[in-house]
């Protein structure tokens, strides 16, 4: 009788520990469930921070090189998600299960109060995934409204990485740290 009670208590504890939704500031992913799903069929939509909205990451007056590429930890976390086997990650190491961020940004100020922002996505198509055609749509979002949008397409062979770059001209006044978001929608088809 005591053994059954201990087993029941352990089973309840185990189920409780794994039924709590994950909500540690992770990106919003389509169809997120109580146990985090990381593999999606096309299309897959990810929403994350728009790092260029934080001038401390790129502003030359704070010691940064104008136009230099930078990334944030949130972008590295996106490398866990796949769309028909394709990932947003760079330099994946299969043995160590590590990678570098698959998203980066570059910002250059213009004399007219505009920012030239480039979003660079590195798309990784693993060895066992066949050739793919990837279409990436990048939306800059502020309070639910799309400020700007770009779509980039590229073929990517099995076992390769390719870079997709989306340029934006944005008013600096339109970008607000912690409010402006980047939504990336990947559509993947066999090539």
51-110: pLDDT as tens digits: 999 999 999 888 899 899 999 999 999 999 999 999 999 999 889 989 999 999 999 999
Q: Most distant CA pair in the chain: distance in Å?
A: 78
2 is a domain residue: no
156 is a domain residue: yes
Secondary element (H or E) of residue 3: helix 2-19
34 is a domain residue: yes
Partnered with residue 187 across adjacent β-strands are 135
118-136: pLDDT as tens digits: 999 999 999 989 999 999 9
Secondary element (H or E) of residue 125: strand 114-125
What ranges make up the beta strands (E) of 127-179? 132-142, 145-156, 160-171
- Domains held by the chain: number: 1
What is the model's pTM? Answer: 0.79
CATH number of the domain encompassing residue 70: 2.60.40.10
Whole-number mean pLDDT of the chain? 84
């Amino acid at each position: 009788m005591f053994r059954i009670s201990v087993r029941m208590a352990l089973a309840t504890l185990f189920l409780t520990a794994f039924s709590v939704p994950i909500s540690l500031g992770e990106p919003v992913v389509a169809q997120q469930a109580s146990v985090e799903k990381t593999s999606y069929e096309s299309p897959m939509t990810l929403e994350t921070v728009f790092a260029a909205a934080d001038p401390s990451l790129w502003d030359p007056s704070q010691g940064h090189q104008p136009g230099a590429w930078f990334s944030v930890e949130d972008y590295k976390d996106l490398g866990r998600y796949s769309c028909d086997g394709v990932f947003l990650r760079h330099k994946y190491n299969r043995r160590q299960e590590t990678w570098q961020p698959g998203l980066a940004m570059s910002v250059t100020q213009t004399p007219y109060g505009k920012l030239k922002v480039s979003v660079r996505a590195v798309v990784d198509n693993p060895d066992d995934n066949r050739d793919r055609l990837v279409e990436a749509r990048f939306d800059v979002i502020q309070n639910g409204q799309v400020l700007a949008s770009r779509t980039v397409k590229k073929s990517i062979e099995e076992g390769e990485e390719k870079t997709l770059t989306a340029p934006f001209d944005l008013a600096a006044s339109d970008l607000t740290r912690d409010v402006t978001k980047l939504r990336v929608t990947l559509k993947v088809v066999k090539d």
